[in-house]
Chain A
Amino acid sequence: MRSLVVEHNIRRMVSAKLLADTSVKRSLQWGPLALKEVGAPKAPTSQWLRVQPRLSGICGSDLATVLASTTRYFEPLVSFPFTPGHEVVGVATKDQTRVVLEAALTCKPRGLRPCRYCSLGQEQLCESVAVGDVKQGIQIGYCSSTGGGWSQELVAHHSQLWPVKDSLSDEDAVLIEPFACALHAVATAKLQKHAVVAVVGAGSVGLLTVAAIKYLSPHVNLSVVAKHPIQRDSALKLGANEVIREEELGRSARRNTRAFRSGDWLSSGYDVVFDCVGSSTSLSSSIKSAKPGGQVVAVGMPSYTGIDLTPLWHREINLRGTYAYGTESFSKKTIEHLDLSEQASLIDNGDTVSIRTFDLAILAMERLKLGWMVTHGFPLENYSQAIEKAAHAGSQDAIKVVFDLRKTKSTSKGTNDL
């Protein structure tokens, strides 16, 4: 079968890193990713199923991996060679059901007793990402045992597969995994009803975060920093109250909270800023524009950044990372507002109600139908074009770029605008 594979080749990784800033195409040409004919991955145990991807998304962390622009932090948490691709809608070969993949490789798929985090439903913090039935890998898409979405077949533990209703298109379904990440980021921020909130960055992560905010907390006043016309239009379509440029963030924070300012210092600011870029500029401006005691949530994967933490210290800002998904807790009133009271998957905790983030993402997607954000699909053969498009998404009128594997024998060289 055909599969895009990342090899552990230091020379190629260094080349990719050096070339990434000047040319994505050249970076790929000289980088660690290659299209190969490989054998299908073997199921580690009988609890694992084969899945043929239909659509598989390209996300920011994938780009950072194949262009080798990530830090070496993840090196011990992946196993080479691996096939990227963790945003997957596919078909389980056993019964031909359409499924989406909950990609995180936590205790359960690894055949382990739940660790202290998994037992609390906080799978995103799982302690077992490097042990168990499969090799190291935080998710399918970073693990040599499982394969990944950028191929014709992968294996997944049955607990990682969620059936997809016919009412959801493949495009809706492929966004469930990244949307679950966004819902987790927003749910853990515990937004107040009329909070003043900003989302910095309007790529697919930023826009899904906007959708998650407006889904969970429709009454918040939401400003979105967007660069390109398609991002601006999409943010407004998703319910942003205003769309601004990055350099306007401080002024927007001031006027939305009627704060006083002296230079960059604000007497107030956003209650919560979701940084969906992860650059030193975006994190710096996010910290400066949050209110004293406010939150900055790093949703987009940051890397090495140089930021002035003086305002973080002086204003007692809570800078918090958010990764993947687990179980979210809501008040009963919120669950009522979301019209989810009748859902069987809810766990009643007395005052609050819990729900797996993935469950919530599927239910929310049935209402929101965000598949329109999948703007471009490419066959595996055109991976260079696909990754280039994803790397320059906003400036090339793209939001979410995916590999389209529905025509498995396709040798088409052209792009398929969806």
Chain B
Amino acid sequence: MTSRPGFVLEVDRSTPPTLMWHGNSYRLERFPTGTRILYPPEPQEPIADPRGAVEEALENPVGDSQPLSTLLTKGMRLVIAFDDVSLPLPQMQAPDVRQLVIEAVLEKAAAAGVDDVYLVAALALHRRMTEGELRHALGSRIYDALTPRKRLLQHDAEDPSNLVDLGTTEQGEVVEINKLAAEADLLVYVNINLVSMDGGHKSVATGLASYRSIRHHHNVKTMVHSRSFMDMHHSELHSSNWRMGRHIAAQGVKIFQIETTLNTDTFPKAFEFLSKREWEWTLKDRSTFIASSKSLKASPDWLSRDIMHKIRSPYKLTGVTAGEVEQVHAKTLDKVFSQQLVTVEGQTDILTMGLPFVGPYNVNSIMNPILVYCLALGYFFNMYVGKPLVREGGVVIISHPNKAEFDPAFHPSYIDFYEQVLTETTDPAEIESRFEESFATDPWYIHLYRKGNAYHGVHPFYMWYWGAHALDHLGGVIVLGGDPKATKRLGFQSASTMMDAIEMAKSIVGDDPSITHLHSPPLVMAEVI
């Protein structure tokens, strides 16, 4: 069966109500006639033999790389770095693709007599993964084999004894990365390219870097000039990472990059209606929708959150490429775009989006207002190549409860960011200049990042910068069904119904606006022409 491409539906009187995410729940929403709804392509056919495909990729690398088996020699030190828990979303059904690839690499290493092997979770400034998350990503066999020997590590961007300064790029960017990885005889990086922003040189140059290094591209100026950061050819974020990546290679760090792509088969059988087009819902789909949406709405937040975070996506492998970083990534991007890209004619005055329960930074946790902001204006807004879906001066309407709730273990600095920073200003540049350094160097946040499961103190700043391009571009943001106080704290307006939100948006974009709804997840990316 071939998958059907994504498309743009124009709402008419016969269009059924549209599914709209609202945090841990969802509802059906009727859009005005003429509204465009951007539907994602259906999941692509997966690779029939994933293990065979991995083997094939490892032994037939692209670029000037040698087959992996020839790079592995007895007595060498092998470091395998892998993407952390922020990918994929939701977590995929076991076996995770990282397990699949790393098992293959380890088997080859064993066959070559390589026993000095380390695994490193490429956290960058993300939180440390829990044991459960590591077991899920790697499989218990790998976890149990490496953990007792302290061979399974998590990158620590604040451990000066395990960072190495590799100098600066031609533009003066400090390149400081994980010492163990940099000094290994071979660094294998195992990636999951869920969206086009991931992978390439960003894997090592960000995933294994220190704050000193990351700050060169995770800043307001870079983000405003990344249009979008899902399109590496127009992304200053990527340009900086590419300069760093090439510098790392020039310093003699030998990297064997393995990138994987997944289809968009996001929801398991029980929730499969969430991926379907509404007019194709069966009686069972309708019943499931009613039962689940009502139950989730009636449940306390902790319970509905717990239910949703237990979802494991039936993602399947659609591509695996190994070898030299840039050539690998070019092939990966082709694959990602072929799955997610939909052509859209012209921009819109109003872009609506329903935010789901999970984003990259709240896996097994609470989506606090700063993450709501980031998911909407950082991620969903940037799901374009060419031009943004919404015109300059246009309005984004976000559907989400947006409650001022925080996970104190995972997001401690977010609480202070919300209380101390957002009460002063929402301007990204001012936030950066006035507050970033004090949060980034706060010893308590550093302690919690290193020893607990907390995001780095600077992380909420990056979330805010992630939306800087959107803030720069938009005329207004309205949160539909959100907590009014928290919404005001973000600098946005509140509305209780979609019609109210559209009326409010008209005061910014004028009467008779064009409206486009981003029907996601599953992931969809707009190529606006």
Binding site for B on A (CB under 8 A): 242-244, 248, 251-252, 254-255, 258-261
Contact = CB atoms under 8 A, between A and B. Distances in A.
B314 to A, nearest CB: 41
B420 A255 contact: yes
B443 A258 contact: yes
Interface string B176-192: 00000000000000000
Contact of B419 (A248, A259, A260, A261): A248
B444 interface: yes
B416 A255 contact: yes
Nearest to B441: A258
B444 A244 contact: no
B443 to A, nearest CB: 6
Interface string B408-441: 0000000110011001100000000000001000
Contacts of A252: 419-420
B447 interface: yes
A239 to B, nearest CB: 15
B420 A261 contact: no
Contacts of B424: 242
B112 to A, nearest CB: 46
B265 to A, nearest CB: 42
21 contacts: A242-B424, A243-B423, A248-B419, A251-B415, A251-B416, A251-B419, A252-B419, A252-B420, A254-B444, A255-B416, A255-B420, A255-B438, A255-B442, A258-B442, A258-B443, A258-B444, A259-B444, A260-B443, A260-B444, A260-B447, A261-B444
A242 B434 CA distance: 13
A254 B445 CA distance: 11
A255 B415 CA distance: 11
A168 to B, nearest CB: 34
Question: Of residues B415, B420, B447, which shows the largest number of chain A Cβ atoms within 10 Å of its Cβ?
Answer: B420
Contacts of B438: 255
Given A248-B419, A261-B444, 6 more contacts: A243-B423, A252-B420, A255-B416, A255-B438, A259-B444, A260-B444
B517 to A, nearest CB: 37
Q: Name which of B424, B442, B444, B447 has the most chain A CB atoms within 10 A of its CB.
A: B444
A258 B442 CA distance: 6
A251 B415 CA distance: 9
Contacts of A243: 423
Contacts of A260: 443-444, 447
A244 B442 contact: no
A258 B444 CA distance: 7
Chain A interface, >50% SS class = mixed
A254 B443 CA distance: 11
A377 to B, nearest CB: 33
Nearest to B457: A255
A261 B415 CA distance: 14
Closest 5 CB pairs of A and B: A260-B444, A255-B416, A248-B419, A258-B442, A258-B443
Contacts of B443: 258, 260
A260 B423 CA distance: 23
A261 B438 CA distance: 17
Nearest to B442: A258
B445 to A, nearest CB: 9
B390 to A, nearest CB: 34
Interface in B463-511: none
A244 B420 CA distance: 8
A242 B420 contact: yes
A258 B443 CA distance: 7
Contacts of B420: 242, 252, 255
Most chain B CB neighbours (cut-off 10 Å) among A243, A255, A258, A259: A255
Nearest to A243: B423
Contacts of A244: 419
A23 B419 CA distance: 34
Contacts of A242: 420, 423-424
Contacts of B415: 251
Contacts of A248: 419
A395 to B, nearest CB: 17
Nearest to B424: A242
Contacts of B447: 260
Nearest to B443: A258
A251 B417 CA distance: 11
A255 B440 CA distance: 12
A237 to B, nearest CB: 15
Nearest to A255: B416
Nearest to A261: B444
A255 B419 CA distance: 11
A254 B444 CA distance: 9
Contacts of B419: 244, 248, 251-252
A254 B439 CA distance: 12
Nearest to B419: A248
Contacts of A254: 444
A244 B421 CA distance: 11
Contacts of A251: 415-416, 419
Contacts of A259: 444
A260 B443 CA distance: 8
B442 to A, nearest CB: 5
A258 B423 CA distance: 19
Nearest to A267: B444
A252 B420 CA distance: 8
B391 to A, nearest CB: 36
Interface in B266-282: none
A232 to B, nearest CB: 9
A258 B424 CA distance: 19
B405 to A, nearest CB: 14
Nearest to A223: B420
B417 to A, nearest CB: 10
A243 B415 CA distance: 15
A217 B479 CA distance: 43
A72 B462 CA distance: 57
A252 B447 CA distance: 18
Contacts of A255: 416, 420, 438, 442
A299 B438 CA distance: 32
Contacts of A261: 444
A242 B425 CA distance: 12
Contacts of B444: 254, 258-261
Interface in B440-461: 442-444, 447
B9 to A, nearest CB: 46
A242 B416 CA distance: 12
Contacts of B423: 242-243
A251 B408 CA distance: 12
Nearest to A247: B419
Nearest to B439: A255
A254 B415 CA distance: 12
A255 B423 CA distance: 15
A208 B165 CA distance: 52
Nearest to A242: B420
A244 B423 CA distance: 9
Contacts of B416: 251, 255
A317 B438 CA distance: 27
A284 to B, nearest CB: 20
A259 B444 CA distance: 6
B444 to A, nearest CB: 5
A11 B219 CA distance: 68
B267 to A, nearest CB: 38
A105 to B, nearest CB: 45
A265 to B, nearest CB: 12
Nearest to B447: A260
B366 to A, nearest CB: 17
A231 B433 CA distance: 28
A259 B442 CA distance: 8
A251 B411 CA distance: 14
B409 to A, nearest CB: 12
A33 B146 CA distance: 79
A248 B438 CA distance: 18
B422 to A, nearest CB: 12
A254 B447 CA distance: 14
A248 B419 CA distance: 8
